[in-house]
Structure 1
Amino acid sequence: MTDIPLPPHPNLLHHIWKTQRVWLTSAAILAVVAVASPEQAAASAGFTLRALWHTAPFLLLSIAIAAWAGATGADSLIARAFTGSPLLMIGLAALAGGLSPFCSCGVIPLIAALLSMGVPLSAVMAFWLASPIMDPSMFVLTSGVLGAEFALAKTLAAVGLGIAGGLTVLVLSRSGALSAPLRDGIGNGGCGAASVRSPKPVVWQFWHDPERRAKFAREARKTTLFLAQWLVLAFLLESLMLALVPAQVITSLLGGTGIGPIALATLVGVPAYLNGYAALPLVGGLIEQGMAPGAGLAFLVAGGVTSLPAAIAVWALVRPKVFALYIALSLSGAFACGLLFQAWSTA
């Protein structure tokens, strides 16, 4: 008598969904798109692969640093390097963020590594907010498209937003409201991380120790898989937004003068799918047509910090209260930067 195959055990299905739900979601989205439009499915798949390839150098470097720090035990030294005066750490982190070459997605693995090492959230948030807004190549391109004055304003906005966000987190952290910012399974970050409480000797040449080599491989694999699944989903959704929502529809709403366009530009910038380089010529064209410079700056700042891929990756890394604070700081900071720049431009 032939055995009748039994359906998968419910617990197995639950385990598969729990551990692979992000990959399954991406596959389901791509399958639906393929049924509706095979051409768009191919375009979205290509867009996702190209975006991953472009981000790969930053991701690989950050993954290697995180795995190396865990294998050698240097994570305790790195965490201790971020101890001392909180105000100095916040200022230096914001300045470093404004000068770093990381985009809003490329900075995510570095943030995960810093938090898991026990670096204070206030300093991390300062770097986190400032980094996606400006970098040396962005400064040059912004100067060419929008002028040196706008480029300088965007640089000051990056550093200022980082400092303001870091100070806000510092105040809130003193009440214990932001302890353990990372989600379960990502790390045990926060100021009281085990690497800081109980530092162990550092073994720089970790490859001589089989156990440490194995730990390096485990950490690298875990971090790579975690980041890959979320970035694939993020870039896939971004490609669909590019195809379905014309950029002109978003940017055409931001013309005019006054506080209203700045507020609207801030809100529209949050889900903006444009990367910083693609947004510059569009904002430049709108400014030529009468768009308020403050609205343009608010749009670029809000969109740079909270673009769709970045927001999804942040949500995957941190607890909801930290994510909500990240969004609130981005919104209020972009709006304030827009108001200040508008007031200075019309003075």
Structure 2
Amino acid sequence: MELFKWLNDQLLRMDWLAWLVRVLLEDGLGMDMSSRTGASLHFFIFDVIKIFILLSVLIFSISWVQSYFPPERTRRILGDMSGMKARLSAALLGTITPFCSCSSIPLFIGFTSSGLPLGVTFAFLISSPLVDLASVILLASIFNWTISIAYVLIGLVLAVLGGTLISRAKMERYVEAFVLHSPVLDIAQAELTRGDRARFAWTQVSDIFRRVWLYVLIGVGIGAAIHNWIPAAWIEALLGQNNWWSVPLATLVGVPMYADIFGTLPIAEALVGQGVGLGTALAFMMAVTALSLPSLIMLKKVVKAPLLALFFGIVTVGIVLIGYLFNAFSYLFI
């Protein structure tokens, strides 16, 4: 256990990096780490470097695995299944696709046009931006493994349950006609070499970096401000764990925003550090990643209002319930 704790602290939490940044700021720049400015700068530099290091390693590894599951192969795998097994498999496959909600929609269109049941495609659509392998490691690096595993499991439950409810509602008539009649290419995938997979993985790392770097900087900047400049009493009065409205408010605030989980994690970390309930912080994070306004606008182009409203309602209610559950049982995780 001691060895595991040491590895976790050094490889995931990167205590060595926190110490190095502190030394550079204190000895190199003569800054006081007990001051707001010094603590904020340390928080910002440390979190940015840590997230970018973890992202590089994780996205490369995930993309290498993903190279074995191109969309055509994924569609064939899901096409051979039905019912709950298919929805669970779609949710699990969503975890190996490091996409934001907007990036998941083209795959949703492809899966739907190929004839996969609507419940299966929505299970994937909910899971893909909400839960991925990178988020497991990043959550563990910021909080702990218990919170990380609980978040992933509850995210998968939400994806499967959401897909099931949409399947039971028989909403196929509310999918736009062009989606159902889009051409589907079924081209045999050439066997990739290790070099091909490495190039694909590095391309994914580069692409995701281009998409998320600004959100990471903004998210860490907001987190640093929350952590060191906004009085804890203010935050607790508004979003404190004892306030019944904190979870719905955090969910509502997250909807207009657009960011990946990588940009919202530092904000969630700072909120928890200032006395906000764990469930409230996670509800905000889930709303930003699964219910962002840009993704809803894109989704409106491919499904009609009743189906969009059902999707939004199911995910919103699910996030709020998850927030309350995490707040009620946070003593088990922290």
TM-score interval, normalised by the smaller of the two chains: 0.5 to 0.7
Alignment of 1:1-347 (within 5 A): 78=75, 81-82=78-79, 84-173=81-170, 178-188=171-181, 255-258=239-242, 259-346=244-331
Aligned equivalents of 2:238, 2:162: Cα separation in 1: 26
Give the letter for the 1:256 counterpart.
G
Question: Does the 8 Å CA contact 2:78/2:86 hold for their aligned counterparts?
Answer: no
Give the structure 2 partner of residue 48 of structure 1: none
Task: Specify whether residues 281 and 127 from structure 1 end up closer, same or farther in structure 2 by C-alpha distance, changes over 3 A only.
Answer: same
Aligned equivalents of 2:238, 2:298: Cα separation in 1: 27
Superposition deviation, residue 84 in structure 1: 4.5
Superposition deviation, residue 263 in structure 1: 1.5
Identify unmatched segments of 5+ residues in structure 2. Answer: 1-62, 190-210, 227-233
Q: Secondary structure at the match of 2:102?
A: coil
Give the letter for the 2:299 counterpart.
V
Identify unmatched segments of 5+ residues in structure 1. Answer: 1-57, 196-201, 206-234
Aligned residues: 232
Cα distance per residue 1:124-165 (max 9 Å; x no partner): 111111111121222211211222222222211220111110
Superposition deviation, residue 80 in structure 1: 8.7
TM-score calculated relative to the size of structure 2: 0.59
Q: Secondary structure at the match of 2:125?
A: helix
Superposition deviation, residue 255 in structure 1: 2.4
Aligned equivalents of 1:254, 1:160: Cα separation in 2: 29
Superposition deviation, residue 313 in structure 1: 1.5
TM-score calculated relative to the size of structure 1: 0.57
Task: Specify whether residues 185 and 294 from structure 1 end up closer, same or farther in structure 2 by C-alpha distance, changes over 3 A only.
Answer: same
Task: Specify whether residues 103 and 80 from structure 1 end up closer, same or farther in structure 2 by C-alpha distance, changes over 3 A only.
Answer: closer
Aligned equivalents of 1:336, 1:290: Cα separation in 2: 20
Q: CA RMSD in A?
A: 3.7
Question: Does the 8 Å CA contact 2:247/2:279 hold for their aligned counterparts?
Answer: yes
Superposition deviation, residue 296 in structure 1: 0.8
Aligned equivalents of 1:323, 1:203: Cα separation in 2: 32
Superposition deviation, residue 274 in structure 1: 3.4
Task: Specify whether residues 203 and 261 from structure 1 end up closer, same or farther in structure 2 by C-alpha distance, changes over 3 A only.
Answer: closer
Question: Does the 8 Å CA contact 1:315/1:323 hold for their aligned counterparts?
Answer: yes
Task: Specify whether residues 180 and 116 from structure 1 end up closer, same or farther in structure 2 by C-alpha distance, changes over 3 A only.
Answer: farther
Task: Specify whether residues 81 and 93 from structure 1 end up closer, same or farther in structure 2 by C-alpha distance, changes over 3 A only.
Answer: closer
Question: Does the 8 Å CA contact 1:98/1:155 hold for their aligned counterparts?
Answer: no
Cα distance per residue 1:200-229 (max 9 Å; x no partner): xx7859xxxxxxxxxxxxxxxxxxxxxxxx
Aligned equivalents of 1:187, 1:170: Cα separation in 2: 16
Task: Specify whether residues 256 and 87 from structure 1 end up closer, same or farther in structure 2 by C-alpha distance, changes over 3 A only.
Answer: same
Aligned equivalents of 1:290, 1:278: Cα separation in 2: 20
Superposition deviation, residue 100 in structure 1: 3.0
Task: Specify whether residues 100 and 204 from structure 1 end up closer, same or farther in structure 2 by C-alpha distance, changes over 3 A only.
Answer: closer
Give the letter for the 1:145 counterpart.
I
Task: Specify whether residues 286 and 203 from structure 1 end up closer, same or farther in structure 2 by C-alpha distance, changes over 3 A only.
Answer: closer
Question: Does the 8 Å CA contact 2:277/2:327 hold for their aligned counterparts?
Answer: yes
Give the letter for the 1:317 counterpart.
V
Question: Does the 8 Å CA contact 2:78/2:89 hold for their aligned counterparts?
Answer: no
Task: Specify whether residues 254 and 112 from structure 1 end up closer, same or farther in structure 2 by C-alpha distance, changes over 3 A only.
Answer: farther
Sequence identity, in percent?
28
Question: Does the 8 Å CA contact 1:93/1:124 hold for their aligned counterparts?
Answer: yes
